[in-house]
Amino acid sequence: SQTIHQWPATLVQPVGSPLSLECTVEGTSNPNLYWYRQAAGRGLQLLFYSVGIGQISSEVPQNLSASRPQDRQFILSSKKLLLSDSGFYLCAWSMRGRTDTQYFGPGTRLTVL
Amino acid sequence: RKEVEQDPGPFNVPEGATVAFNCTYSNSASQSFFWYRQDCRKEPKLLMSVYSSGNEDGRFTAQLNRASQYISLLIRDSKLSDSATYLCAVLASGGSYIPTFGRGTSLIVHP
């Protein structure tokens, strides 16, 4: 069966510090991968998605970036965090080439102080 | 008009009650529909897909109304453990793999 991992689970970072969040998927190949952010009391905001290694599409221009160095690894980064980057970051996967269900990882709760 | 809309609630119901949520969508080409459950400070988890003919899973029934462009989720015999936020997700046709999520409906089941 497929599983999706995210780490760290919780992170507290000062403004201006860098960020690296990692997501890995097991039990499937060639998944579509997604990064979402959910601010407190808000809906899911799609940040990036990827249909393959090195292929990243950005939905919202901001100080975040994403990379997919391996088929089942998706990384979210920032060089300098802003207060507004605080939120719940969720990685998700779906079957490649199918308009199918998304499955979410456990998320990383980021607080920028 | 937002692409996918949900009443944020909260819906406050007693145990044993029947409660229903709707989710309206604006893209008439939408083909795939889902309900997710999200517990406080947790990730959304798939509750059920919504098929054209409707589908039922125990106390949960999901239905699609294409003419009026909405999906519904009915929960019968509500349990305290049903308290959560329920998100709908809609996928357009044509090979899209990016769903649009509603902002969720909060359900509180009380004793």
Would an 8 Å CB–CB cutoff place A89 in contact with chain B?
Answer: no
Q: What is the DSSP string of B45-94?
A: EEEEEE-TT-EEETTEEEEEETTTTEEEEEE-S--GGG-EEEEEEEEESS
pLDDT over 70 percentage in chain A: 96
Cross-chain residue pair A101–B42, CB shorter than 8 Å: no
Q: What is the mean pLDDT of residues B57-77?
A: 96
Residue B73 phi, psi dihedral angles, 5° rounding: -130, 125
Sequence-separated (6 or more) residues with CB below 8 Å from residue A61: none
Pairing of strands B4-6, B19-25: antiparallel
Secondary structure (3-state) at A7 = strand
Residues of A with CB below 8 A from B48's CB? none
pLDDT over 90 percentage in chain A: 78
pLDDT, one tens digit per residue, over A82-103 is 999 999 999 999 987 665 789 9
Report residues of chain A scoring pLDDT below 70: 61, 97-99
Instruction: Give me the pLDDT at residue A99, please.
Output: 54
Residues of B with CB below 8 A from A46's CB? 98
Secondary structure (3-state) at A38 = strand
Rounded to whole angstroms, how far apart are CA atoms B17 and A47? Answer: 38
Rounded to whole angstroms, how far apart are CA atoms A67 and A27? Answer: 20
